[in-house]
Amino acid sequence: MSGAVYWAVSDTWTVVRRGLLHYRRQPSNIAWQLGFPVVSVLLFVYVFGSGMAMEDYKSYAMPGMFAMTMAFGFMNTAMLVTLDKDKGITDRFRSMPMSPMAVVGGRGVSDLIGAALDLAVMAAIALAIGWRSSGGFAATIAAFGLLLLLRFALIWVGVVLGLMVPNQEAAGNLFAVAFPFGMVSSVFTPPSEMPTWLGAIAQWNPVSSTANAVRDLFGNPVPQDGPWIQENAMMMAVVWPIVITVVFLPLAVRKYQRLSA
Amino acid sequence: MKATETAVLAEGLQKRYGEKRVLDGFDLAVPYGTVYGLLGPNGAGKTTAVRILTTLVRLDGGSARVGGFDVATEAGKVRRKIGLAGQYAAVDEILTGRQNLEMFGRLFHLGAKRARQRAQELLEQFELTEAADKGAKTYSGGMRRRLDLASSMILAPDVLFMDEPTTGLDPRSRGEVWESVRGLVAQGTTVLLTTQYLDEADKLADRIAVIEHGRTIADDTPAALKNRIGGDRIEVVVADAAQIPDAVKAVDRVAGVEPDIDLEALKVQAPVTDRVAALTEVARTLQDDGVVVEDIALRRPTLDDVFLRLTGRKAEDEEEVAA
């Protein structure tokens, strides 16, 4: 059994290494990947932010934008999974005596590394335009931990969707799902200022819980006087990702093993 | 053990996708050390059969053993015995040829050092050393297939499955892939290859199984199969349907067998043995009889001829099931 664990870890590392080699062989892809968060920050803070009534909108929106980038991350996962499936790489992996956990696990670790890179660049931009965390070192680290936790949970959603969609074009169309998922939340506006029904959806969106929890940890403005779900954002920022992982991780592994069965 | 056991043994394989029976009682027995060609039109079930035998797809009925292990209950052991070269050269296009082979070597649990050595050996064997450190996406079609083949050969598998190894390749690249396959066979690898091309099966395989509607309809040596089809064929296309009987008479006299007639295409064809003599003879007879000929040609038998002979129908591409 310990042999199986050893190979699961070793194979996962081999697959992660493949992801890192991709970065090294295509450095321009890093620029594209990081371009999105950079552009979003500048766009939302300066273009939309100037129309917002809220004072210190930057401090409100920045943690939200961190959370949104993590939320959109499942798109990357889904597209890479679909690409491998289309190209036959997934079939080759499945026909080999490697650990069946490793393909899914390797994808997860590679994507987390990419997400950490995204966050680092976003934080640097945020600092450069005047955003600050006043929450202290431990709280700041905890906040970034919560952001990566959300990304981690959504990896498995991305794997499941990536294996479900028929081709790469369809994977691209997942943006129609990602966009409202990221936006109908407390990311840019407090849900209390939305129409009641939309506000309720936004409150219960896991992205809102993470956004509000990290606002709190960063010492940035947090939406006030909300329902239970908003008041317990810190707890829910942990509970949501766990629930999502518990549902989607086994589904992802199962879907991978039964692919086209 | 090897001498007595069969490399691939499939009995009564069943596979359904929804209402469609893709495999319907498919049988196959491939002895060790042979090259077996699985010949059939698109959608006949070739790819599904390979996917079941390589543990990628679960079967609905029947049983299959590969390398002595059951594909359903001992998938892990089967995977250590096989190599798979797919229809869509399954290599990582961003990585270099060497990086691909090293990655697959590690995933076959060779360890980092041995994986590096093995990559170098395979690059040499498949004549990819010059392009070894270039990205696989810059490779030509033939080079990519060879890299794919090399990736399938990491463990020098007992049984190599090749799903349409030359589909979409230009003639030169096809030749390169054929060369590589012959090399592997010389080293004792058992090969099961699927193809839509009769000449490919003929050139490479010791034995050919013809598959239609998910079932094996013939299983023979290429020579025997060609005997049943009748080798090279002469084909006469007449200008006027009224002259078909004359053309039939002429071809019949020279070929000595009753020709096949395609009324729609105004075509009369029959197998011949002495190619050139037959051509001149038929041409002269037609001229003497005053038959106006649109076209007259010799050609090698195709998959269509095989099916025409074996089933009385033309090979029809069935709708490919997304597998």
The pLDDT tens digits for B95-130 are 999 999 999 999 999 999 999 999 999 999 889 999
| Pairwise CB contact (< 8 Å): A92 & B82 | no
The SS3 assignment for A123 reads helix
As a whole number of angstroms, the distance between CA A108 and CA A92 comes to 19
Residues B19 and B69 in one domain: yes
Best of B17, B98, B107 to disrupt the A interface by mutation (most A CBs within 10 Å)?
B107
Q: Is residue B257 domain-shared with residue B198, that is, in the same domain?
A: no
CB pairs under 8 A between A and B: 75
B304 assigned to some structural domain: no
* Same domain (yes/no): B97, B217: yes
State whether B190 and B283 are in the same domain: no
Q: What is the mean pLDDT of chain B?
A: 87
Chain B residues whose beta carbon lies within 8 Å of the beta carbon of residue A15: 107
Give the CA-trace dihedral at B211, B212, B214, B215, to 10 degrees. Answer: -60
User: Between the CA of residue B184 and those of A9, A140, B177, B259, what are the distances in Å?
Assistant: 33, 59, 11, 41
B138-176: per-residue pLDDT in tens?
A: 998 889 988 999 999 898 889 999 998 888 788 888 888
Position B318 scores a pLDDT of: 58
Q: Residue B246 above 80 pLDDT?
A: yes
Q: What is the pLDDT of residues B167-218, one digit of tens each?
A: 878 888 888 888 888 888 888 899 999 988 888 888 889 999 999 889 999 8
SS3 A106: helix
The reply to whether B34 falls in a domain is yes
Chain B residues lying within 8 Å of A94, measured CB to CB: 55-56
Pseudo-torsion of CA A61, A66, A67, A68, nearest 10°? 80
In a domain, B26, yes or no: yes
Task: Give CA angle at A164 (A163, A170), nearest 5°.
Answer: 100
Counting the structural domains of chain B, the total is 2
- Would you say B33 and B188 are in contact if contact means Cβ atoms under 8 Å apart? yes
Do residues B215 and B147 share a domain? yes
Please indicate, yes or no, whether residues B13 and B161 belong to a single structural domain of this protein.
Answer: yes
DSSP B149-216: HHHHTTT--SEEEEESTTTT--HHHHHHHHHHHHHHHHTT-EEEEEES-HHHHHHH-SEEEEEETTEE
Nearest residue to A133 via CA among A204, A58, A196, A76: A58
**DSSP-derived 3-state class of residue A67:** helix
Same-domain pairing of B198 and B240:
no
Q: What sign does the CA torsion over A135, A139, A145, A151 have?
A: negative
Are B108 and A96 within 8 A, CB to CB? yes
**Structural domain contains residue B239:** yes
Cβ of B103 within 8 Å of Cβ of A18? The answer is yes
The CATH number of the domain holding residue B108 is: 3.40.50.300
**Which string of b and e fits A133-152 if b means at least 16 CB within 10 Å?**
bebeeeebebbbebbbbbbb
Q: What's the mean pLDDT in B79-105? A: 90
Helix (H) or strand (E) run with residue B104 in it: helix B97-107
Q: Which chain B residues are within 8 Å of A259, Cβ to Cβ?
A: 56
The answer to whether residues B50 and B155 belong to one domain is: yes
Q: Which positions ≥6 away from B7 have C-beta within 8 Å? A: B30, B31, B32, B33, B34, B66, B67, B158, B159, B190, B192
B323 within some domain = no
What is the ipTM metric for this complex? 0.86
Q: Does B316 fall in a domain?
A: no
* B152 occurs within a structural domain: yes
For the beta carbon of residue B44, count every other beta carbon within 10 angstroms. Answer: 28
Q: Which helix (H) or strand (E) holds A209?
A: helix A206-218
Both B146 and B195 in a single domain? yes
CB neighbours (10 Å) of residue A31?
A: 10
Residue B155, domain extent: 6-227
- Under DSSP, the state recorded for B275 is H
Domain final residue, candidates B227, B255, B270: B227
Q: Which amino acid would we find at residue B191?
A: V
B201, B227, B253 - which closes a domain: B227
Domain stops at, among B227, B244, B272: B227
Instruction: Indicate if B181 and B65 belong to the same structural domain.
Output: yes
Match 């056991």 to its residue by tokens.
B5
Supply the pLDDT for residue B90.
86
Look at residue B308 and tell me if it is in a domain: no
